[in-house]
Structure 1
Amino acid sequence: MTKHSQETVIGQITSVFGVKGWLKVFSYTDPKEGILEYRNWTLVQNGNRIAAKLEEGRRQGQGIVVRLKGIDDRDLARSYCGADITVQTAELPELPEGEFYWHQLEGLTVYTTDNECLGEVDHLIETGSNDVLIVRATDRSIDQRERLIPYLPDQVVKAVSLAESTLTVDWDPEF
């Protein structure tokens, strides 16, 4: 999703589960079960948008399984595999001061503490130890390199300004 979007992706339907229309879901929320807090989903698949209502869901092993309203057989459920699950950003809970959702960071212009433009946050990835900003070059960048910058507030990430669409990092441009 772009930074101007009114919705954000919170997961993806990966496969069917059982014969009664249940679906396996990969959740991007933290904790994983957080995806079950949202009842009104929009499924986005191959450019199509489908409104969906979460009827029930639960943890199943290492993953999450859900039942959506109106989906009650395996064949119909299979047609939703691969769909992204989005919700309205207005439904997301407020975060404490200094914390941000990934979708808020995507699209921000990244500057070093010396005011050198490194590019724009394309997306983030989770590595286990910390999240990583994937910064893609823009026409204003000092070069055309893609950079992977650890998202470590106060250590590497010095400032985030959503109002100015900027993120300031203490990062050597040679990396």
Structure 2
Amino acid sequence: MFDTSGVLAQESPPADIIVLGKIVSACGLQGRMRVHPFADDPLSWSRLTHWWVGREEDALNLWRQTKLLSCQLRNGLLLAKLACVADRTAAEAISGALVGVPRAALPPTATDEYYWADLIGLSVRNTRDQSLGRILGLIETPANTVLRVGDGESGERLLPFVAAIVLDVDISGRWVRVDWEKDW
């Protein structure tokens, strides 16, 4: 899948990889790829010298570090060129892979800002102190980000991640308080 000349071997990749996006398709003949961003300010990723590439279905969670050669934002997607992807065939083969970086490479978040990876798994309780489940994931929509909350019994709820709904987030306490009824 990868041209090993551009990949830096890692026997034990960092456990704290923050997923930034997903490679969705090849772009042109030179090995550039379209990357769907999962976070704000994706153009700032172009200042990173290396990205890590891995696959969701990889049970061993093997991430490989590779040099970022170029990155630009176009129509909401990143067009990126990685040292491990030499041509269109290699770009097509890597389609579907995730890109990320170790947490240490990212800037600290401001007050009331969170990395999505920090929110996944947090317990969600409403203002009546009823459990709504845990955050399973997030969805980016044109209007706002949406929390996918599930409790394993009643399926999944979609809650807008906006100040009127999400009243408090406590990363260290591993919980989120929302203004949302259990039967909605």
Aligned-residue offset at 1:43: 1.0
Point out the more displaced range, 118-127 or 57-66: 57-66
Query: After superposition, what is the alpha-carbon deviation per residue over 1:79-111, rounded to whole angstroms, capped at 9, x for unaligned?
Result: 211111011122221122122121111110011
Counterpart for residue 43 of structure 2: 33
Closer/same/farther in 2, CA of residues 126 and 101 from structure 1, 3 Å limit: same
Matched, 1:119 2:133: yes
What does residue 180 of structure 2 align with? 171
Amino acid at match of 2:71: G
From 108, 111, 127, the equivalent of 1:97 is: 111
SS of structure 1 residue aligned to 2:45: helix
Query: What is the 5 A alignment of 1:18-167?
Result: 18-45=28-55, 46-47=57-58, 48-138=62-152, 144-153=154-163, 155-167=164-176
Give the match for residue 5 of structure 2: none
Q: Which amino acid aligns with 1:105?
A: L
Unaligned runs of 5+ in 2: 1-14
Assess if the C-alpha contact under 8 Å between 1:9 and 1:86 holds in 2: yes
| Count of aligned residue pairs for this structure pair | 166
Q: In 2, distance between residues paired with 1:164 and 1:70?
A: 40
- Percent identity, please: 29
Give 2:168's aligned amino acid. A
State the alpha-carbon separation in 1 of the partners of residues 84 and 133 from structure 2: 44
The Cα of 1:132 is off from its aligned counterpart by 1.2
In 1, distance between residues paired with 2:74 and 2:112?
33
* TM-aligned CA deviation for residue 21 of structure 1: 1.9
For residues 114 and 132 of structure 2, the distance between their equivalents in structure 1, rounded to whole angstroms, comes to 20
Q: Supply the RMSD in Å over aligned alpha carbons.
A: 1.9
Change in Cα spacing, 1:67 to 1:121, as seen in structure 2 (3 Å) is same
SS, match of residue 128 in structure 2: coil
Give, in angstroms, the shift of residue 70 of structure 1.
4.1
